[in-house]
Amino acid sequence: MISQEMEKAFNSQINAELYSEYLYLSMKAYVSRLNLPGFINWFDVQVQEEHAHAMGMFDYVISRGGKIELLAIDKPETDWESPLEVFEHVLKHEQLVTSLINKLMDVAESSHDRAALSFLDWYLKEQVEEEKNVGNVLATLRLIKNDANALLLLDKDLATRVFNPPIIA
């Protein structure tokens, strides 16, 4: 059985994951206006990943006998100046999510909830990978600057990204 404190913390994190999905959907809409199909694909995969992360936690809470409380999702930003600015926002957001996962793990540690700690270990590793992947795209965008041809090459590369449903144990 999950503690009330842990249940509340997970419900808050589920909300954060759903906000992430919503934010990336907004970013997908932005890059759609720029007609960058590879960037559209990258954000589409990100939307799917965030949804899967939220549902993994959702299912975990239920499996532990907890109650799901769906909270209101804040409205995300909708406009950026460039793909570079979008990915700068993505990196800051992923760093925030990493800090939220760490806080969730702090609750699990203080509650001596080893099952939650074990479950959350996957999410922490996923966040390390997320920050690295975003950092790689961001580094390329910084090198590109205003080179339209290089941007189109990156766009072509981002079109190859595929969603692999996570196996969250």
For the domain made up of 4-69+79-158, give the CATH fold: Ferritin (1.20.1260)
Q: Note the pLDDT of residue 169.
A: 62
Q: 35, 136 in Cβ contact below 8 A?
A: no
DSSP state letter for 76: P
Q: Token digits for 48?
A: 């799917």
Who's near 28: CB < 8 A, 6+ residues apart?
Answer: 40, 43, 44, 46, 47
Domain assignments of the chain as residue spans, ordered by start: 4-69+79-158
Q: Note the pLDDT of residue 46.
A: 98
Q: Note the pLDDT of residue 163.
A: 96
pLDDT in tens, 92-144: 999 999 999 999 999 999 999 999 999 999 999 999 999 999 999 999 999 99
Q: Sign of the C-alpha dihedral, residues 4, 50, 126, 141?
A: negative
pLDDT in tens, 150-169: 999 999 999 999 999 988 76
Q: 76, 18 in Cβ contact below 8 A?
A: no
Q: What is the mean pLDDT of residues 15-38?
A: 98
Q: Note the pLDDT of residue 167.
A: 84
How many whole angstroms separate alpha carbon 117 and alpha carbon 147? 45
| H or E stretch at 8 | helix 4-33
pLDDT in tens, 42-84: 999 999 999 999 999 999 999 999 999 999 999 999 999 999 9
Q: Is the pLDDT of residue 1 over 80?
A: yes
For the chain, the 3-state helix, strand and coil shares in percent, each to the nearest 5, are 75, 0, 25
